[in-house]
Copies of this chain bind each other. A is one copy, B any other.
Amino acid sequence: MKDKPTRAARQPRTHPSPGNATTATPHEPTRRRLSGRATIADVADLAQVSTMTVSRALKDPAQLSPEARARVEAAVTELGYVPNHAARTLATSRSHVVAVLVPSLSNTVFVDTLAGIQDCLGPAGYQILIGNTGYSSGKQAELVSTYLSHAPDGFLVTGIDGSEAIRQRLAAARVPVVHMYDLSRTPGEWSVGFSQQRAGFTLTKYLLERGYQCPGFVAAQLDPRTMQRRAGFRRALREAGLDPDVEILTDEPSSVGLGSKLLAQMLSHAPACDAIFCCNDDLALGALFECQRRGISVPGRIAIAGFNDLPPSAWSTPSLTTVTTPRYQIGFEAARLLLQILDGHPPERSCIDLRFTLTPRESA
């Protein structure tokens, strides 16, 4: 009696009658759980092997004898067996979930990045939990806590930059974190992106080379990446001996409508401004619309440049000069880096620079 295995004691189980070992023979309906799904034990019974053998068949079929493998495979398809993730997670303490924190989804920027993440992580069997922080560090902290309870295997984040407290919670949880979009200067911190500062510098240089005398900087949201672009703008102007303070900054959320508004402000506060560097394409598009509304010629009276190269920017009239950013690649490579870390093969460089491209078009 004391040798009776736990499994049998836990629950009566109907077995296929011992006689029909061949898969072709019809057998009694296999017992299912409440969930309605077949379990690994059902497969094992039907295939006449132990649950472990089924487990092995699933993760490394080569380990089995051809016969056993064939029987397990047949049982799996016959029962429509799908592994239960919760059970696997509990047993392995690997959730195969990655938490992704992005500051916004309202333009295509981070959506492209998510696509890259999905394309890398999906085939590797990972699910992603997407948290939209709305550029708020309170929301960030909240999401980190929530996701931590799901025990993700890793985090992919944009814009944790602000809060030291959040960084510490993440460190305490000993979960690997890859930062996206900017290049980290903190040693030992993984990052995939490009130099926001250099991108801002490059675009501004371009404007100066085109002969604009008084470029201005227009920005909203004012997240750290935007501020880096601004730093690049200022550096270029200073190097050229020009006034770096022609700027309109607001922490309102970025939008096309806001771009219209900010263009108007720039025009009235700095009438000499002959070119504006908008910290993103949405703002630039709004600025362009406002110029059209007022009959102001672009780039004749004022040049307009954006940032990111969103899809509409190539089609507006005039088309928008901008900086093309490797958004999809950032997601894909950040995910790939995380996978390498999780597999115990971290690369040497902790900081992957994916670069940006200046894309001159008609507006500047």
Contacts and interface: CB of A to CB of B under 8 A. Distances in A.
Interface of A: 33-37, 82-87, 89-90, 93, 95, 105-108, 111, 114-115, 118, 122, 127-130, 132, 145-146, 148-151, 173-174, 255-257, 259-260, 282, 285-286, 289-290, 292-293, 311-312, 314-317
Contacts of A316: 289
Contact of A34 (B93, B260, B317): B93
Contacts of A286: 312, 315
Contact of A151 (B86, B118, B312, B315): B86
Nearest to A127: B129
Listed from nearest, the 9 A-B pairs whose CB atoms lie closest are A86-B89, A292-B317, A256-B312, A82-B149, A86-B90, A105-B111, A86-B86, A293-B317, A35-B93
Highest count of chain B CB atoms <10 Å: which of A174, A259, A293: A293
A87 B285 CA distance: 50
A289 B315 contact: yes
B311 A256 contact: yes
Given A87-B90, A289-B315, A35 B151 contact: yes
A274 B251 CA distance: 42
Nearest to A142: B122
Given A105-B105, A105-B111, 16 more contacts: A33-B93, A35-B93, A35-B151, A86-B90, A86-B95, A90-B90, A105-B114, A106-B111, A111-B111, A122-B146, A130-B130, A256-B311, A256-B315, A260-B315, A289-B316, A312-B312
20 contacts: A34-B93, A36-B173, A82-B145, A84-B90, A84-B151, A86-B151, A87-B90, A106-B111, A107-B108, A111-B111, A118-B132, A127-B150, A128-B130, A130-B130, A256-B312, A257-B314, A289-B312, A289-B315, A290-B315, A292-B292
A281 to B, nearest CB: 11
A107 to B, nearest CB: 8
A149 B83 contact: yes
A349 to B, nearest CB: 28
Contacts of A174: 36
